[in-house]
Amino acid sequence: MRPRSRTNPSHSSDSKERPVRNLVLVLGDQLNEGSAAWEGFDKERDVAWMAEVKGEATRVWSHKSRVAIFLAAMRHFRRSLEKRGIRVEYRCLEDPSNRGGFIPELVRTVQRLKPERLIMVEPGEWQIREGFREAAADLGVGLEIRNDTHFLCSHEEFAEHARGRKQLRMEYFYREMRRRTGVLMDGDQPEGGKWNYDAENRSGPEPEAIGKLRPPRRFPPGADTREVLAQVEEFFGGHPGSLEHFDWPVTREQAEQALQDFVQNRLPSFGRYQDAMWTGEPYLYHSRLAAAMNLKLLDPRRAIEAAEDAYRSGQAPLNAAEGFIRQILGWREYVRGVYWRYMPDYLEQNVLDARLPLPDFYWTGETDLNCLHQAIGQTLQYGYSHHIQRLMVTGLFALLLGVHPKAVHEWYLAVYVDAVEWVELPNTLGMSQFADGGIMASKPYAASGRYIERMSNYCKDCRYHPGRAIGDDACPFTTLYWDFLARHADTLSSNGRMSLQLRNLKRKGTDELREIRAKAAELQERLAPSS
């Protein structure tokens, strides 16, 4: 028998009906009290609307921790709104009358309250935005979709940046954002004389650095969050992942504490070791802040300001502060711009014509490739892996194998607690799988097992040899790397950044390449059979 919900599963926190002017729609990734949705809000005439719906957890086979962080954060946010005297129409997951989808729940509320207008901040997913637009039109009620001021670059500003450019490149966008915001600037020049410090931020794992690690601050679940975890196990017990280690920040106060913990304890070494991977260390020097930012519990301006202040005060070196800021002010804003500029067609991009299904071990971690076993196992345990594990282990293997990019996208959207489509889709389909042909990235992130050997200690305990492409102990990454180059040589020949790799391919003897390609075909058939 499940515990009785502490949050009222009924429709409203106010049993007394009164005329409603605006119904303000709040989604699970819009939990910021400074949102544009609240501009002009009148507590006497306006009502907030929130709904927990099974459809958002089952549209992709979502990790239990991904479901839990959304629900827990939503319930805490509801409480904070009610403390401010805001009436909240809230539908709980366990309510027997819950219709399981945003639109059916909205239709029922609109038909009952008859608001004059609906207001919402733009959703983080194209399909959801269009669904609300269609529903409002069908209901005959006006819908105002407001710009999301959480972000530092509006759609109009991104369009202005893109106007007249033959190619979009994050580096130039990032420089423009630095100039516009004044972040890490010295007058009109970048602080320190360089725009980025990538060359200083590529160290592999060093045992002495691992030994100095301080684990991220944990946020043990309180009573409300424990109730959510129990309900997730009840309703989504067959979903992937574990809730055993759930300790994510689910309130604005916790997100701020997580930021301060990162700045004090891991930011100083973040730059140098941001690409490193180490067995049994899921977080290393990373921040664990993406989920809080993507739910809007943490304003990106706060994170940028804290990192810059740490540099200015001598607490963190420039390469660390710049590397962290670039992920937010550069990549995060750029990815959002790409998403909204190219959707909905972007979702169907597949320029490399990759067709294979995702291997089953992506859902279990049961593989004898130690790097994949570590990265996927960690993902299933925590709902987290850092950007190099995503790009250069799980993403790289899918790219080299030839997995359909939409299948890779759906897996990434399902398994990570920080996954919202606007940020996940371009990073996966564009940067990781190169399915967009170069919109997001200037070249495929294709590499052999040697890269993983250099950036991790995974290969030390693996049965495969990263330097070998043929033979019983050949690393599948290395075999598939050469096969990938051979398969796509014509397509990639016009890409200047691939010229060195293609020249190395030409040095392979005919017999060696034939053997490599035969072994690659065997791997494809065994790991991702097409039928």
Amino acid identity for residue 348 in this structure: E
Residue 277: what are its φ and ψ, rounded to 5°?
Answer: -135, 145
Write the pLDDT tens digit of every residue in 431-465. 999 999 999 999 999 999 999 999 999 999 999 99
CA atoms within 13 A on the CB side of 493: 7
What confidence score (pLDDT) does residue 369 get? Answer: 98
Q: Angle 28-31-37 (CA atoms, 0-180°, nearest 5)?
A: 105
Write the pLDDT tens digit of every residue in 406-420. 999 999 999 999 999
What confidence score (pLDDT) does residue 66 get? Answer: 98
Confidence band (pLDDT; 50, 70, 90) for 5?
very low
The chain-wide mean pLDDT, for the chain, equals 95
Average pLDDT of the segment spanning 123-141: 97
Contact 452, 477 (CB under 8 A): yes
Residue with tokens 């670059």, as numbered in its chain? 153
Enumerate the β-bridge partners of residue 232: none
Token pair recorded at residue 173: 């966008």
pLDDT at 231 over 90: yes
What confidence score (pLDDT) does residue 3 get? Answer: 37
Enumerate the β-bridge partners of residue 117: 22, 142
What confidence score (pLDDT) does residue 7 get? Answer: 43
Q: For the chain, give me the number of helices (H) and strands (E)?
A: 24, 7
Confidence band (pLDDT; 50, 70, 90) for 288?
very high
What confidence score (pLDDT) does residue 18 get? Answer: 75
Average pLDDT of the segment spanning 384-409: 98
Look at 200 and 429; give whichever has higher pLDDT: 429
**What is the value of pTM for the model shown?**
0.94
What confidence score (pLDDT) does residue 331 get? Answer: 97
448 Rama class: left (phi>0) / alpha (psi -120 to 50) / beta? beta
What confidence score (pLDDT) does residue 84 get? Answer: 96
Contact 489, 502 (CB under 8 A): yes
pLDDT at 312 over 60: yes
From residue 473, give the alpha-carbon distance in Å to each of 241, 399, 466, 510.
Answer: 31, 21, 9, 21
Which of these ranges, 12-16, 63-67, 280-284, 405-409, has the smallest mean pLDDT? 12-16
What confidence score (pLDDT) does residue 263 get? Answer: 98
What confidence score (pLDDT) does residue 1 get? Answer: 30
Residue with tokens 């293609």, as numbered in its chain? 502
**Residue 127 neighbours by CB under 8 Å, 6+ apart:** 344, 421
Token pair recorded at residue 141: 């009620």
pLDDT at 9 over 50: no
Residue with tokens 């304003």, as numbered in its chain? 299
Write the pLDDT tens digit of every residue in 187-227. 999 999 999 998 888 898 888 888 889 999 999 999 999 99
From residue 342, give the alpha-carbon distance in Å to each of 64, 129, 162, 306.
Answer: 30, 15, 12, 32
Confidence band (pLDDT; 50, 70, 90) for 531?
low
Average pLDDT of the segment spanning 339-346: 97
